[in-house]
Copies of this chain bind each other. A is one copy, B any other.
């Protein structure tokens, strides 16, 4: 029997939206998801294990990863590199596991470029909706404030364009349910199931 491949799910969104909280709650429920392990050049802290908490590498090793395009994304932060190694993600997916990557917007856009077959979920705050309602319902805000808030909202909407799904984080419970539905629904996509069936048929032709 041909095993169905896993899927890379990328959860992103503006800072402060609650990505980490949603990810933690999601992992309390779901056991088939593998959390993507990052690679870093920062020193290993006590109790941290290589290949579990992070893949620990030297600066030279990390730069070689960059040069050989072996990272789905990377960034420098306070003098150290952090990134997502492509190989780990690909191995998990081949083994039939979904990989889950929680990441800020810039990193997600790099992943989108390097791994477009991923499924990209954008978490947005409910305050964007509330903001619209407020602006719409009353006319008391200063012109400048309205303009600046709308600009912020527009920037967020532009970022949404690159994503497949948008989840409003009105409560952690609701957001987790929606992400779980997205994961399950994606596995029912015809393209994924049809490939599996076709592969089986091809074998016997």
- Which A residues form the contact surface with B (CB < 8 A)? 1, 121-122, 128-129, 132-133, 135-136, 146, 150, 153-154, 157, 160-161, 163-168, 177-178, 180-186, 188-190, 193-194, 197-198, 200-201, 203-205
Contacts and interface: CB of A to CB of B under 8 A. Distances in A.
A153 B202 CA distance: 12
Contacts of A146: 204
B165 A200 contact: no
Interface-central residue, A129, A153, A178, A193, by most chain B CB under 10 Å: A193
29 contacts: A122-B190, A128-B197, A132-B200, A136-B200, A150-B201, A150-B204, A153-B197, A157-B194, A157-B197, A157-B201, A160-B193, A160-B194, A160-B197, A161-B190, A161-B194, A164-B189, A164-B190, A166-B189, A166-B193, A167-B188, A168-B193, A177-B184, A178-B184, A181-B181, A181-B182, A182-B184, A182-B188, A184-B185, A185-B186
B185 A153 contact: no
Contacts of A181: 180-185, 188
A132 B198 CA distance: 10
Contacts of A133: 1
Interface-central residue, A1, A146, A166, by most chain B CB under 10 Å: A166
B165 A194 contact: no
B194 A166 contact: yes
Contacts of A153: 197, 201
Nearest to A166: B193
Given A160-B194, A181-B180, A197-B128, A188 B166 contact: yes
